[in-house]
Amino acid sequence: MIVVLFALMYFLMIRPQRKQQQKRRDQLSKIKPGDQVVTIGRLHGVVDEINEAEKTVTLDCDGIYLVFDLSAIAQVKQPAITATATANANDQTDASDTATHQNTADSQSSDAAKSDAADSKPDTDDDSKPEAK
């Protein structure tokens, strides 16, 4: 009965915990510059440099460089390769959206110029109004 209890405890508690620890070690060992990460304090940044000897990582947080222990990384949000591919896809989408918006803005500005020209015609009824003294 005791052996069954230990086996059950191993498969329900110890084994999943070891798998989780191994997954975390693999994740931390695969971090490279350019990866977007989140620290255990929920600080979001981009990996700038990794020091394997001291087990530290330097994060670029909007131009501010902070040094953390490697174990302070909670998760890798977006690997560097995916970030580059996503950025290229977003640039292409943004370029087509910008062209569409620019064409729409050009047509709206020409319509506005036509209406401004019509509004700027001089009034001929000014002579019939009495002058205030």
- pLDDT digit of tens for each residue in the chain (133 aa)? 999 999 998 889 999 999 999 999 999 999 999 999 999 999 999 999 999 999 999 999 999 999 999 999 999 987 766 545 555 655 565 555 555 555 555 555 555 545 555 555 555 555 555 555 5
Nearest to 49 by CA among 65, 64, 63, 38: 65
Tens-place pLDDT, residues 88-123 = 655 565 555 555 555 555 555 555 545 555 555 555
Q: 43 and 61 in contact (C-beta within 8 Å)?
A: yes
Q: CA 111 to CA 105: how far, in whole Å?
A: 10
- Indicate the pTM of the whole model: 0.51
pLDDT at residue number 79: 75
Q: 76 CB contacts (<8 Å, ≥6 apart)?
A: 27, 30, 31, 35, 36, 37
pLDDT at residue number 102: 54
Show the tokens assigned to 84: 């580059």
Q: CA 122 to CA 35: how far, in whole Å?
A: 64
Q: 60 and 48 in contact (C-beta within 8 Å)?
A: yes
CATH of domain 1-77: 2.30.30.30
